[in-house]
Each structure stands twice: as structure tokens, then as C-alpha cells.
Structure 1
């Protein structure tokens, strides 16, 4: 019976998609207006009013590099650091793995033969050089907001990177999701093409922040929950979502569940260094964002992003206490363990053996608020979260975050500790230093371990 229903659903979906394809080919509306001028819409605040042109190619490339960093292009399009932008990184989706393409100027395997119009069309419409529909793992849903001027600056920069002759693996998507033309149906419900239009009732700083967050920075792609089609649920913007086992936390201005209790200085420190004293440290995908992207933001852009996020609709989501208000330093368990014979998996013993040398016996960390410190587990937004998933993921995969301020490294314990041991450490840490109601089972750790990174 289930197989019959599944087959019927697939046939119905395909038939509907065929109708959409026919409709699109016979009713082609005129494209949206391009962008209105956006003040300070480029990376170099020192010449925010200047227009980059081909006559000023070095400045165009410089601005394109800044914008490419802001868009974090390297994160998805680099699988091997010795071959930047050559693609090949597997991006997990509920429908299978998508491998990022090569965007170096190699003429055979990259975008060396793409025209500027091809590149703009991909960024604005999600359509590749050969007319194929791109999957929204490439966030054209956000990039459509970016001005053509900035898109061309990014293209100018990519033209200067070293060409790499490399063809990424083919995508591994299940039927029928491997049919690219079905994206016509997806776009109908989840994609609104059009450039960003400033709000004349808002400040230039707000508009700059909106342009960045909604466009190149594509913050919603990780921090907004998704619907059953994997489109963004616009009524829950920035309320938090799960990506490959990692929780991208709520960044609405709610004081309990979001960033409403963070000062502007704390937000700046987190974006630029990856560490905010009394709040937490970036790990997982967010550590990559800091490393590849936000550490390079100008002060103007940091303030603009903060200004924009501050006025979004706060979403509480049932949270009753801020994540970074839990815990106090304790050390009693160290004394209790002395002379004790341990015959089973013991979280306190495992913590002392694997974690205490860096995070201190008391959980207070070493190095206080420095960006390269071993962070405190007290008043830590990961340890105080209602779900201990990110804590377990940090233990499994460690932390690597290289910034201009510090190189941060926490070793991964996935090959050293079993699921039972990681669950025991996680539960000990949340009980002693964070939200004691947040617990995890060995089976749940196993599911996180299996999540493709």
C-alpha cells in the first residue's frame, strides 16, 4: 500500500512539474526591474560612493574579492585547500549529496568559457551556462538580491584566481530529484527573482545590513527553518535550523532564545574573532563562516548587519532561559574521583581525562575572553542549549578556526571515544556547567556521527 501511494505521489508530482514547465515556456513574463542604486553597496568603505569600472580593474578585483569573502564562496567551492574554488565539496541534502562545481577560470572544467551574462544569470536566476536549472544548495534564492554591479565584481575577482583543471564528482541525488527541470516547480513556490530595493523609510545603515544579510551573506540559508520542499519558512525568519547535524541558532532579537541579550560589542567580537566572552565560541559551519568570511568584514558592514538584525521580529520558540546564562564553576567531582574504582562509563572521569586540561577542572576555561582561549563551559551558549547536539558534534569533530587574531584548534574525538563515552561526557558537561535538562543518548550520538559533513 505504501509503495502504491509513493508511486502515485511521484507520478502526480512529475505530471504537475511537466505542467509548470509547459506553462513557463508559453507564458514568459517580463523579467523584474534590475536594482535601484544602493548607497555604500560595496566592500571598501573608504570609497563607498565610487563606481568600479573596467577602467579601474584593480579596484574592481579588490572589491570582488571582498564580496566573494562576504558571500563565503570558498566554503562550498573548495574541497581541497590546495585547489581553492575548484569545487568538489559534498553538500548533504535530504535528497542526496550535491557536489559543488569548479568556479575557477579553467576553460574546460571551470567557468573560463562563461560570459558575464552567463555568470549573472546563474547568480540571479539559478540557471547555468547550458540552460540547466541549478539546485538551491547554491543559494541563488539569496544571490538574486545582489546588484549586477556587485555580481560582476565577483566575476572579475574569480577571473584572477588560479585555474584548476578538475571535474568534481557527479551529484548523488535520488530519483526523481536528479531531474533538474523539476526545479521549475520548486522555484514557483520558493523563489522570488529580483534585486534588492532599499527602503526609503529606513536608514542607510539598515538598508546596507538588509542588502548583506538577505543577499550575499545569505544568513537565512542556515538560520531559517525549511518547509517540506526544503524552501525557507519565511514566517520563521532567523529562528534557527539544523544543518548536517549542527544547530544554527536563533539570531532574532529575542532576549532569551536569540541575540537580544548580546551587546553590539559581543556581536562584533563573535563575527570578527569567532569568540564572544560570556556567550560562546563559533564551531562547526559557523567557524568556517568566521574563518572564510565575517572576520574580513569592515566595521561599517558589521554595524549594518547588527542594525538590521536588531529590528527583526523576535521569535521565542518556547525558550524560558537564555542559553548563555546557565552554569557556575564546580570542582567537587575531581575530589570525589580520587581513589575511586571506576567500573563503567563515567562522564566525570572521561571529562577529567579528555577535557579538563584545556577547559579546567572547574569548567572555567583557560584564557578568559581571548579569541584563542580554551573557552569557559560556564555561560556558554552551546553548553546551555536545550539540545546538546552541538556539544556532541564539537566533541566528535573538534574545532578548527583560523582568524587574524588566533588559530583555534580543539582535537576531534570521533576516532578516540565511543558513542557511549561521548554521550556520557556531553551529559556530564550539561549537568555540571549548562542546562541539566539537556541530555543525549548513545544512539543519538551515533546518528550525529553518521551525518555527512
Structure 2
């Protein structure tokens, strides 16, 4: 074979190979165009189907809420099915969770947030949870809301601070969380941006909550105890979950997590003593009946034992008075079945005191300095009577007796001084109870004198306060 023939053969093979590649590329382009055309056709058919049936794309996590809100906003004559019932249930559950208390700083803007919560690490301002799309949770999906309640994680993936009690809310069922969200979405949207949190470094770094959660948070829903009855389990579900009683009544560790070994045995919150509510006979509520507990939660009064004041008065006003009888009884059954925790009290708080006779003894006497009995007669006796036995007997709006009163008989006088400083305002279906605040009327020394007189005469005589201690209580943000 000649050399020129070999070169020609190579050239022919090269030309053939190039032609083959070009053909393959052309075929691939045809297939790609066909695939794109098919995809476009399918998409066009899908749009046509949506148009024909007037349907819209829906995310499965949003559909139940959408149905509930749509039905809830429909005229009553046409409203039926799950929607209105879901919203009504959500309202009841939101009451049980006392959502309005923390998320309302201005009663004219319910659920719009902005309430300041003082912590050892700084001040946290509660968020707006109205359905406003820009400043509230109007753009949150059901999944976003569920994640916040169950995991303590916000819409943008940020770690929430445990001032929002997701440590307890994690136990709430998905259905109940969805009902609460459905109810909140029927609220009037309020365009309001609460102030930014004021937390010291490094506590203003949300990512650190990962480590806090490792120590203090167990994510998971409530699991009924098969060894207990239905009422006990319902009470446990409420107390450990939505009602988040532990947040106030359980002592805290150095990270401000709850001491689970001392559950509900009492703690100090913002200067107020949230008392031991385990069934210990002297330290707790072991001598209370189921009816005492139910009455206290529904009216703020357990006759001959206690009258709700401070944060607990707010809980009764905003939350527990709305609970039905079955749930109140379930809570009582659960609390009275807890492990009793002894805090060392020799007598129950409501077993102290006897009537006073100082009004007679002081008549015509020369008073020098700050005198607790004189201050009591001048500022307190018109409502609580000079004997301390109260005015109005057992009527719903009666002024309570200071004898056999758990505040006067407590082992510390914190709550008594706080009541004198800040007064009482408790509104229920039975009565509107008001006691004026004396923080602007009396000095620290005078409040200490009145407090010590009341504990000595009507309560636990070992419970005393100095003027300096009153000053520290006065300074605690409320």
C-alpha cells in the first residue's frame, strides 16, 4: 500500500468519526428539546386543571388551619364541622396555657407582645403572636408554630429563650397545638414590634441555647401512665404541659433550668414566693381538699386557707377561672398524688394566728417612732378589721381574714410585703377584688413594721423583714 493511501484512510476515518459525533450531539439536542416540551406540556395541563377546578396549591401542614380559619370566619348559619369547634377548643387551651398574660403588655392590644420579663441575665420582651404578617406570626405555617411549641425553635431557625415555656409545651399534643394556632389566627392582627431583648453577653447569643437544652430540655409529647386513672392523667397533662405550673413553683439550678428532683416544692419568682404545692401536710397543700384546690383555681380563694395575690392572682384572672370542673378536679387529683416534699415548716401556713386587741391598747397611748400596730390600724383595719378577722365574712368580694391566712403564716414574709407594696387586683366571674398598693404611701421602714406586726399577731412570728429587705423587694421589676 502506498503511503498516500494510508494517509487518505486515516483522513476518511477521522471524517467519519466527526460526523458520528455530530449526529449523536444532534440526537441529544432533539431528546432534550422533546423532554422540555413534554415537561412544559405537563405543567400547562396542570395549570389548566387548577383553573378548571378553581384550586390552589396547598401545603399539607397548612391545610387544617386554613380550613379552620375559613370555617370560623364564615357566617354562623353556614358554619359547621371541624373549623369552629377547633377554634373554640383553641380558645380554651390558650386560656389553660395563660398565653395572654405573657404576650400582652397593653390590654388594648391583646397578644401583641411587648411585656418585659426580668431574668438574672437581663430583660426579655415577649413577641407579637397576633396574625399580623409583618410583626406577628401571620406568615408562620402550622409546622413553624408546632416547632416553636415543641422544640423551642422560631420560624427563622433561631433558638427561643426558655422564658417561653417550651420545656413544658413540648408535652402538648399536636392536635391541641393546632387548635391554639387556629384560635390565635382569629385574633385581630396588630401591627406592633416589641422592643428588642436586653440581655448581657454572652446570654444574648441564641446559639448557646443548644447547650442549655442539653442540660434542661427533653423534647417529647406527654405519655399517659397506664397505671393511673383518666383524671390523674388529664391533671398531669395540664400541670406538666399547658398550665406549666413548674415554671413558677419549682426551684431552679445555676443555669436557671428546673430542679426536677424538687418539682413543685416552691420557688421565688420576681420577689414573690410561689409556694410548695406538693401534698406535704405542713410544707405544702396536703391538708387541702380537692374542693379547696378547685375553688382556689376558679375564684382565687380557698376559704380559711389562702387568697391569690401577685402573679397567682393574674393566673386565676386570665387562666384557671376558665377551666371546666372536670379539669379543675383532675388538677387537684394529680397534685394531691405527687410525692410530698418537706421544706421544714413546723406548722401549715394556714394554721397560725389569733384576733388582735391593739385598738383598745393603743387608745390614748403616746406613740413614738415607727409602730406597726398603729400603721396597721391606720392603713389596714378598715378592710381587714382591727382584729384581723376581715370584713364581709365568706362573700366573694370579702376582705380576707389575716388569721389562718397562708400569706401571713408563711415561713418567709416576702409575699406579705409584696402585697403591701403592690396591692392586689384579681378579677373573676364572682368578684372584682382590689387592694390598693402602698408603695407610694409608706416607706420601707413602715412597710417592714406593718409586715412584722401582721406576722407576729396573725401569722408566723418567726417571719420578719428589715427595711433593707423591703427596699430590695421594692426594686424587683414586676
TM-score bucket of the superposed structures, by smaller chain: 0.7 to 0.9
Once superposed, what is the RMSD of the aligned Cα atoms? 1.0
Counterpart in 1 of 2:120? 94
| Distance in 2 of aligned mates of 1:171 and 1:211 | 31
Is the 1:275–1:369 contact (alpha carbons within 8 Å) kept by the matching residues of 2? no
1:167 aligns with 2:180: no
Pick from 108, 113, 123: which aligns with 1:82? 108
Correspondence list, 1:108-123, <5 A: 108-123=134-149
Pick from 340, 346, 366: which aligns with 1:320? 346
Pick from 272, 278, 281: which aligns with 2:304? 278
Larger radius of gyration: 2
* Offset of residue 308 of structure 1: 0.8
Q: Deviations over 1:93-122 (max 9, x none)?
A: 110110000000011110011001000000
1:243 aligns with 2:269: yes
1:424 aligns with 2:440: no
Q: What 5-or-longer segments of structure 2 have no aligned partner? A: 1-78
* Offset of residue 383 of structure 1: 0.2
* Offset of residue 339 of structure 1: 1.4
| Distance in 2 of aligned mates of 1:370 and 1:190 | 44
Correspondence list, 1:43-442, <5 A: 55-331=81-357, 333-442=358-467
Is the 1:253–1:259 contact (alpha carbons within 8 Å) kept by the matching residues of 2? yes
Q: Which has the higher contact order (CA 8 A, sep 6+)?
A: 1
Is the 1:274–1:371 contact (alpha carbons within 8 Å) kept by the matching residues of 2? no
Counterpart in 1 of 2:57? none
* Offset of residue 341 of structure 1: 2.4
Structure 1 runs, 4 residues or longer, greater than 3 Å off: none
Is the 1:110–1:165 contact (alpha carbons within 8 Å) kept by the matching residues of 2? yes
* Offset of residue 55 of structure 1: 4.2
| Distance in 1 of aligned mates of 2:320 and 2:145 | 24
Size of the alignment, in residue pairs? 400
TM-score scaled by length of structure 1: 0.87
SS of match in other structure, 2:124: strand
Counterpart in 1 of 2:72? none
Q: Deviations over 1:48-74 (max 9, x none)?
A: xxxxx9942111110000000000001
Q: What 5-or-longer segments of structure 1 have no aligned partner? A: 1-52
Is the 1:395–1:414 contact (alpha carbons within 8 Å) kept by the matching residues of 2? yes
* Offset of residue 200 of structure 1: 1.2
| Distance in 2 of aligned mates of 1:172 and 1:150 | 32
